[in-house]
Structures are given as structure tokens and as C-alpha cells.
Amino acid sequence: MIKFHLNSLTASSLNIGQTINDFFQLTKLRLSTSVVFSSLAGYLLASDKLETQVLLGLFFGGFAMVGASNAFNQLIEKNKDSLMIRTQNRPLPSGRMSNIVAATIATVLAVFGILILQYINFKTALFGALSIFLYTCVYTPLKSVTSLSVFVGAFPGAIPFMLGWVAATGSFGIEPGILFMIQFFWQFPHFWAIGWMVDEDYKNAGFKMLPTGSPNKTTAFLIVFYSLWTIIISILPYTKYSGDLNLSTHAAFALLTIGGCFLYFALKLMQQKTKKAARNLMYASIVYISFLQLIYVFDKWI
């Protein structure tokens, strides 16, 4: 009897653990966390004093916003995810979660996220809602139609960094525009590196992600081109023609340093044209954008 009870408890614990893990997979916890980090960085750049309510609103509202987008995305792409090795074990294609449960989670998160962002200010909620709409209703369907889907997807993907500034100021101007452009251009080398790594998997599912349709020299050149533009835009605030968004000489030098490392991996991909080089660039892009945001914040506050 005791053994049966212990076995029941163990099974129950495993089920709870799997449910939580499925929720995090559906909402893409790591991606959602990185987006929240971006929005908080944008807020810190615009604000001279920290308001706990706004920070918490960005944290939970931002997570809900991205989580909803990812959940809707996986719901729409359930059948295609079942065709790719990297996504076959997700909750929906594996059958561990039903469509109704996923749709409920996505809807609740979307409403919850927009309401929280509305509490901060109307424009923050508007950009949050726009991000969900573009990612779910435009980017996701286009992935099977044209490689321009990456261009479209870069719009909602670039909103979080500027969202923090809008949350702090309630307005959109040149400063959040620059933050938007940094993350907008950064996404091309980042996602094309991923597309290069899993090109065969994407093709099996019918996704068109690489600009030329193949991991070739032209795609590699475009990756280098957009990497270079990302670096150039990142130091625009040093010119002092960027409103209240400014950079010191030390910060500009630091940005050029990490930008040089980022560009190095892009050039290595153009030279080697291998999946390993693409993977290295993908990781380098994540490190680059994280350090860029930290440099921006530290330059203001320290």
C-alpha cells in the first residue's frame, strides 16, 4: 500500500514537471527571457529613476506577450513541426498537449500581456499588440511562402528593445527608433545563421528562411552585410544626433570591439560556409546583442 502510494506520488510529480516543461517549451522560455531582458534594458536607458511597477509590468507583460506569440506560432505550425527533427518533441506535435489547451494558453497570455502593458501606458500596449499580430498573423504564414518572412519577422522581433523606452516615456521618437533599428538589423545575421544550420530541416517542412534559398556564398555575403550595418547603427548615439540617447567614447570603443568579434564570425562563415561556422555565428550574435545592451545601460548608469 505504501509502495503504491509512493509510486503514485512519483508519477504525479513527473506529470507536473512535464506539464511545466511543456508550458515553457510552448512559450519558449529562453527566447521570452531574452526579450524581457531587451525591454528592461530599453527602460533603463530612458528612465532616470526606477519605478518598480513599470519594471514588473514590463517583465510579466513582456513575457506574456512573447509567450503568446510563440504559442500561437506553434499552434499554427503543429503539422510542420512534426516534420522537423528539432521540433518533433514539442508539446503539440508530440501529442502531449491538445490544440485547445495551447490555444487557451496563447489567448490568456495575449490578453494578460496587453492588459499589463496598457497599465504602463497606451503606446506600450499598442506596440505589444502589434508585435503579437505581426508575428502570428503575418510572419508565421509567410515562412512557407517566401524568404521575405525574415524581413517581416524582424519587425515584431525589434519591438522589445524600443518597448522599454516607450514604457518609460510614453512616446516614440528618434531614441527608440535607433534601438528598434539595432535589433531589427541584428536579426538578419542571427536568424540566417540558424537557417543555415538547419536548412535541410526547414526545407523538409517547406519553410523558406534563407534569402537565396540555399546556404551559399550570396547568403553569406548578406549575413556579413547586415552584420556590418548592425555595428554601424549601434554607434549612432555617439554622434550626439540621437536625442537623449548618447554614448561615451569608452562605450563606443567597447561596442566597436564586440562588433568586430561579431563581424569576425560572420566573415568566417563566408569563408568556410559550414554548419559549424553558422553555429558559431549564431552564438556570437546572442553574446553580441546581450553585451551591446549591457554596454548601453552601464554607460548611462555608471
Cβ partners under 8 Å of residue 285, min gap 6:
186, 189, 190, 193, 262, 265
Fold for 23-172, please state it.
Tetracycline Repressor; domain 2 (1.10.357)
- The 8-class DSSP code of residue 139 comes to I
Contact present, 145 and 208 (Cβ < 8 Å): yes
Cβ partners under 8 Å of residue 298, min gap 6:
251
**Rounded Cα–Cα distance for residues 61 and 267 (Å):** 38
Give the mean model confidence (pLDDT) for residues 192-205.
94
Residue 223 has pLDDT above 90, yes or no: yes
Residue 10 has pLDDT above 80, yes or no: no
Residue 292 has pLDDT above 60, yes or no: yes
- 77-90 tens-digit pLDDT: 999 999 998 899 99
Residue 196 has pLDDT above 90, yes or no: yes
- 31-56 tens-digit pLDDT: 889 989 999 999 999 998 889 999 99
pTM reported for the whole predicted model = 0.91
- Give me the residue label for grid cell 522599454: 164
**9 — pLDDT class (breaks 50, 70, 90):** very low
- 229-280 tens-digit pLDDT: 999 999 999 998 899 999 999 999 999 999 999 999 999 999 999 999 999 9
- The 8-class DSSP code of residue 84 comes to S
**121 — pLDDT class (breaks 50, 70, 90):** very high
Please, what is the average pLDDT of the chain?
92
pLDDT value, residue 6: 45
